[in-house]
A and B are shown apart, each in its own frame.
Chain A
């Protein structure tokens, strides 16, 4: 009875208002997504477009801009330091992320084994490095890999008969130390993603394979890996994009000399140095545009490669 009255009341109210329910909903829709798009326009879209325009100008941040065509790109592409920073970024990226994928899958596989106990303890400890900030990781590793001969890292390699390395000033020392901190911080993160992937694989697939006489290794290669493919593609994509944007780890690890040395200068550090240490906003923007192109291309190629790899595996699994 009461609800009928209410309903009548509501329909009367609706009749009075000029806006229909449908129009109101439309309006609400636009209104509710507006905050995001207003913010996006101001701090996302406008800076991105401005950056692309800036790449064709000469500008120090003060005074008028001067259109210079492609010459910023020419300056950057002719600068050996740009190429060195790209080389460093790719090498550190490969050394820091590729092993993660392999180790991550193995750890996730172990954590997913039904017979293993204390998995929650292992999961929490292996994930813990990810909680630490990049700056904290870089500082702790900076002391561990300090350039002094008595650095703990030098003590450890000394146990294996290796001579002390000058970790912060040698070509490979800096790259290896930075790759290791990237690896340490992210391997648990990838393990968690793979673990979620493994848990999504139906158990009866393995049971059926066991009945058909497939061994553990065969099952891993022909069931686990192909079904994990979407998760592998995802982590490869994220690792590729993340590795090409590396900044905090090398910049903090090397401390005050970070922008004066080239052993571990990454593309983003090169960009930062151009803009904020040398005041050349035009060439820095050209670098930003080049970096965008590199990231999109690398992400596309790597995603394509990993999906292709999975397809081949799957086809083989089906034909067997």
Chain B
């Protein structure tokens, strides 16, 4: 009993520190919501406004007048889902090859994949832009998404997961039953690696959702805007309406926050798996 009391006493500063860190982490979200419900003038009040107002709908209406918000939301969802599915397919297929097949040059190719991780994305920015414009893919989701198909980390994760979790015996048995390699991939490997798909899927989805430089470079026509580009354009007016601006940010952030709160364990483990393995 005495021991427990002592432990509790010593932990008070730790709770204060963690509580403060949590508060600092959450406050901008709360404040964004407050400002999204206030008229722009509330921003100038002293002491500052820290409670929600009644302009939630009005501010969002102004957002809809300024940018094609729902179009941008739809574009983003289509872009993120398509890229994620494509990366899952490409990575798991290549990961399968590196985990389970023997072929000359295997190590060389694998090291090559690791090396591609080191190339900073800005190095190829200009030729990539030129390439996409020559293909007529400017202002299209195809142009915005094509760059993200390159995901060496995905192959790395998949190779790791497949070599650990798909037993060789199972593959041998399937082969004896006359299964082709692709059939093995489809009916044995895919069901086993579902957890790895969740991890990689979250990594890719959030990456594409939040990426800015490339989407900003390729998408110039408002009809093709993704959320990030549309939001950034809200800030370009000479006089920015803060209530409207933060209303846009708030409604663009809410979906991802909800997904995060539901699947937070997956999100957090995706970071450690993505970086440690």
Interface residues of A (CB under 8 A from B): 6-7, 9-10, 13, 21-22, 24-26, 28-33, 35-37, 39-40, 42-44, 46-48, 50-51, 54, 61, 103, 106-107, 110-111, 113, 115-116, 121-137, 139-144, 146, 148, 150, 152, 155, 184, 188-189, 192-193, 196, 231, 234, 238, 241, 244-245, 247-248, 251-252, 255-256, 268, 271-272, 275-276, 281, 284-285, 288-289, 291-292, 295-296
Contact = CB atoms under 8 A, between A and B. Distances in A.
Contacts of A271: 122, 125
B1 interface: no
Contact of A51 (B43, B106, B127, B232): B127
Contact of B242 (A143, A192, A231, A272): A143
Given A29-B101, A32-B93, 20 more contacts: A6-B176, A6-B178, A7-B176, A21-B175, A25-B102, A29-B103, A32-B97, A33-B97, A33-B155, A37-B109, A47-B128, A127-B264, A132-B29, A133-B256, A136-B231, A140-B249, A143-B35, A245-B120, A248-B216, A288-B125
Which size class do B's interface residues fall under?
A: 35 or more
Interface string B230-241: 011011111010
Contacts of B242: 143, 146
B90 interface: yes
B264 A288 contact: no
B123 interface: yes
5 contacts: A115-B11, A131-B267, A139-B245, A144-B28, A295-B120
A245 B122 contact: yes
Tell me what chain A mostly uses at the interface: helix, strand, loop, or mixed: helix
B56 interface: no
B181 interface: yes
Contact of B181 (A24, A255, A285): A24
Contact of A29 (B28, B97, B124, B234): B97
Tell me what chain B mostly uses at the interface: helix, strand, loop, or mixed: helix
A135 B14 CA distance: 32
Interface in B151-172: 152, 155
A268 B212 CA distance: 12
A46 B272 contact: no
B114 interface: no
A184 B28 contact: yes
Contacts of A123: 268
B123 A291 contact: yes
Interface string B121-140: 11111111111000000000
A284 B126 contact: yes
B142 to A, nearest CB: 12
Contact of B122 (A26, A193, A268): A268
